[in-house]
Chains A and B, each alone.
Chain A
Amino acid sequence: MINPYLPYQAKIIKCQKETEDVKLFHLKFTDSARQKRFHFWNGQFVQVGIPGKGEAPINICSQSKDSTKYFELAIREVGQLTKAFHQLKAGDYVYVRGPFGNGWPKMKNLPKKNLLLVGGGCGFIPLKSTAEELSKGYGKKYQVQILYGTSDESQLLFKKQYKAWQKAGIELDLIFDKKRPQHKTVQGAKCGFGLITKLFKTIKIVKDATAFICGPPIMFNFVVKELKKLRFGDEDIYLSLERRMTCGIGICQHCAIGDKYVCKDGPVFRYDQVNNLEL
């Protein structure tokens, strides 16, 4: 019987600072056979831990096509365990279970092929693999737009990739809500000042599209409201939700929401599956 609670050792190959409180870890399972069997899809997460400090759910943010070679996690320091992660260096080990949950839908299954990605703060992390995936030609075929809000420019994640995304035909719009931008653009992407919902009033939003949203809970309702005004249907909106997690497999109840489990039925939900629940 496979033990769903058994974590596998993974080695930190590289780690780099993305922002003041977010580090990007490049990881590989010590057991290469384990790595070769590792398959995930954008938006799925792993439970990653340090012996003595427990485990935390973290999204895999590298591309699924590389899943059998390595995987990446971007971790923000917010508490005990995440602080311990930030003290690790290349060559150190962490312990990983998963991948778990349902990620973002596959583009080929979407009735509406244009895409709108909306990320707030650390909520941008689970959208990264999709942005990368879409840079491989998809952005030339269909319209792709990313709205990304943070408190200020210093909080922006994955900056080095913005140029490549835009070159691939993706429109990237940034907005800060605490500190005014010092420049008109960051890495070629326009930046504004205000809440992310302001973008819905100031720029043209892609039409006939599917929306992927991730951010703090209050952001969901406001963004969905704006999308509704633009006639996005419930079935064309996807959200990645956050909850406390222990097991990752739908048993411990920590992540429950109404009749669903965020770990198992989510973290990505189609809006019509959760619109009567408190997000």
Chain B
Amino acid sequence: MTKQNIDILFKKILKEYQIYAPVLANKELFVKKALNIKEIDYSGRIPLNSWKQLFLPDCETLFTYTGNFKKEKANYPKVCAGNMTILDLRALGLYDLVFSEDPYYQQRRQNILVVGFSFGAPNEENFADWKVFSMKLEENILEHVPFDIFLEKDKKGNFKIYSGSIKGQELLEKYKIKEYKNIKFAGLIPEEGPDKRMLELGKSIKKSANHPLWDELDKICFACGKCSLVCPTCFCFDTEDVPDKDSVKRQRLWGNCFYPEFTAIAGGKNYTDTVKKKIKFWYDHKFSRIPAEFKVPGCVSCNRCTLVCPVGIDIIKNLNRLNSKVTKKSAKK
């Protein structure tokens, strides 16, 4: 397939769906609504903001109360998430697990067409520093990420198309694309079992309470919460009751574990009252709780948090320090 074929595919998709995709703005790549398919980026780079806004909006109404709590009939728009990288698909796979019983997520998700994209292997720029998880583009990686359609671009600029769901397959058929391969999703965990590096890291974090790293971070991080804002695997939330004329809306809003009230309870006790405890709490979510519950890493190594941190805190360096055994090993490779 040529780029022209892909353009035609997206043109057809655009007739049915709003397309969100990586779009270049001021030399920086952002997930944005693409008004024109020419805006869609094919560099394979990771956009600075994450895709979570599409799947888990920053504010949504759970119920309207008028004598009893009722879920509103929501009209979720048909949205195409175009050119998501493998890493972001992994984050999406995690949402699918975490929010498997969340009717809001599930209904919204049904109306989203997920189009994945890779340029060879995820490109050098994004991989240069990645010593955290063994995220090589394995042969069968596509079997372990969710998508409807996947576009694989090779070095010559030619494309291969895959379908990863019935929805994707039906769409490709409808658009008269015959040259594609079906991939059956086999869950996020690879055949050889949970990521070994992840398991080791989990153990190290558990034993890290007295590691000097936490004190060092305590001095430099100012708990601005930017890292959590851009992180695709930060999906914590608050709820808030908002009074309207004759009703009350119960809303769900993005939370941020760096903000002051996150773990505060009545009587003044706050379980994360120091910066050090906040960062540990954040790392524990990704490297202790998510792996304990789902057997997959809670960090997809996208490096967004490092890029936005105003004081240059680098998660990958930190993890390597916490897990020095792993560093030695990966250094040998």
Question: Which of A's residues lie within 8 Å of B, judged by CB?
Answer: 1-7, 9, 51-55, 78-79, 82, 95, 217, 242-244, 246-247, 249-254, 256-261, 276, 278
Name, among A2, A217, A242, A253, the residue most crowded by chain B CB atoms within 10 Å (CB to CB): A253
Chain A neighbourhood of B262, CB < 8 A: 244, 254
Q: Which of B202, B240, B264 is the one whose CB lies under 8 Å from A244? A: B264
On whether the beta carbons of B255 and A252 are closer than 8 Å, the reply is yes
Of the candidates A3, A51, A256, which one forms a contact with B285 in the assembled complex, judged by CB atoms under 8 Å apart? A256
Distance in angstroms between the alpha carbons of A6 and B194 in the assembled complex = 35
Interface of A is mostly: loop
Q: Which residues of B contact A3 (CB under 8 A)?
A: 71, 103
- Is A1 in contact with B103, judged by CB distance below 8 angstroms? yes
Tell me whether A243 and B271 are in contact (CB under 8 A).
Answer: yes
Top 10 closest pairs, chain A to chain B, by CB: A253-B236, A259-B288, A78-B266, A51-B65, A51-B248, A79-B266, A259-B292, A1-B103, A52-B248, A52-B241
- CB of B235 to closest CB in A, whole Å: 8
Mask of B230-258 contacts with A, CB within 8 angstroms, 1/0: 00000111111101000010101001010
How long is the Cα–Cα vector from A244 to B259 in the complex, in angstroms? 14
Q: Does B179 contact A (CB under 8 A)?
A: no
CB nearest neighbor in B for A2? B101
Interface: B127 (CB within 8 A)? no
A276 and B210 alpha carbons, distance in the complex (Å): 12
Cβ contact within 8 Å between A217 and B269: yes
Are B263 and A243 neighbours in the complex by a CB distance under 8 Å?
yes
Given contacts A247-B239, A252-B255, 14 further A-B contacts (CB under 8 A): A5-B239, A5-B252, A51-B248, A54-B241, A243-B265, A244-B265, A246-B255, A249-B101, A250-B293, A251-B99, A254-B236, A257-B271, A259-B288, A278-B271
B interface vs A, CB < 8 Å? 62-63, 65, 68-69, 71, 98-99, 101-103, 106, 202, 206, 209, 235-241, 243, 248, 250, 252, 255, 257, 262-267, 269, 271, 281, 284-285, 288-289, 292-293
**Docked-complex contact B239 and A55, CB < 8 angstroms:** yes
Residue of A242, A244, A259 with highest tally of chain B CB at under 10 A? A259
Main secondary structure of the interface of B (DSSP, over half): mixed
**Cα–Cα, bound, A256→B257 (Å):** 10
Please measure, in the bound complex, the distance between the C-alpha atom of A253 and the C-alpha atom of B241, giving whole angstroms: 19
Complex Cα gap A204–B255 (Å): 48
How far, in Å, is A25 (CB) from chain B's closest CB? 18
CB–CB B101/A52 < 8 A: no
- Asked whether A259 lies within 8 Å of B284 as measured between CB atoms, the reply is yes
Query: Do A7 and B238 touch across chains, with their CB atoms under 8 A apart?
Result: no
Please indicate the chain A residues that have their CB under 8 angstroms from the CB of B62 in the complex.
5
Say yes or no: A254 contacts B255, CB within 8 Å.
Answer: yes
CB pair A256 B289 closer than 8 Å: yes
Of the candidates B202, B235, B289, which one forms a contact with A260 in the assembled complex, judged by CB atoms under 8 Å apart?
B289
Which of A4, A7, A254 is the one whose CB lies under 8 Å from B102? A4
Residues in A with CB closer than 8 Å to B102 are 4, 251
Q: What separation, in Å, do the CA atoms of A188 and B60 have in the docked complex?
A: 55
Collect the chain B residues with CB atoms within 8 Å of residue A4's CB. 101-102
- Whether B266 and A6, one on each chain, are in contact in the complex, defined by CB atoms closer than 8 angstroms, is no
> Can you report 30 residue pairs joining A to B where beta carbons are below 8 Å apart?
A2-B101, A4-B101, A4-B102, A5-B63, A5-B250, A6-B63, A6-B69, A6-B71, A7-B69, A54-B240, A78-B267, A243-B265, A243-B271, A246-B238, A247-B237, A249-B101, A252-B238, A254-B236, A254-B238, A254-B255, A254-B262, A254-B263, A256-B285, A257-B271, A258-B284, A259-B202, A259-B289, A259-B292, A260-B289, A261-B289
Q: How far is the CA of A276 from the CA of B209 in the complex (A)?
A: 9
Contacts of B68 in A (CB 8 A): 9
Contact of A52 with B99 at beta-carbon distance under 8 Å, contacts A9-B68, A259-B288, A278-B271 already known: no
Do A253 and B71 touch across chains, with their CB atoms under 8 A apart? no
- Determine how close the nearest CB of chain B comes to the CB of A48; give it in whole angstroms: 13
Q: Let me know if A1 and B101 touch, CB within 8 A.
A: yes
Contact A54-B239, Cβ < 8 Å, known A9-B68, A95-B69, A259-B292: yes
CA distance A51 to B267 in the complex (A): 23
Residues of A within 8 A of B239 (CB): 5, 54-55, 246-247
Q: In whole angstroms, what is the CA distance A256 to B298 when docked?
A: 15
Chain A residues closer than 8 Å to B99, beta-carbon distance: 251
- Give the distance in Å from the alpha carbon of A82 to the alpha carbon of B266 in the complex: 10
Q: For residue B289, which residue of chain A has the nearest CB?
A: A259
Report the separation of the CA atoms of residues A51 and B106 in the bound assembly, to the nearest whole angstrom: 25
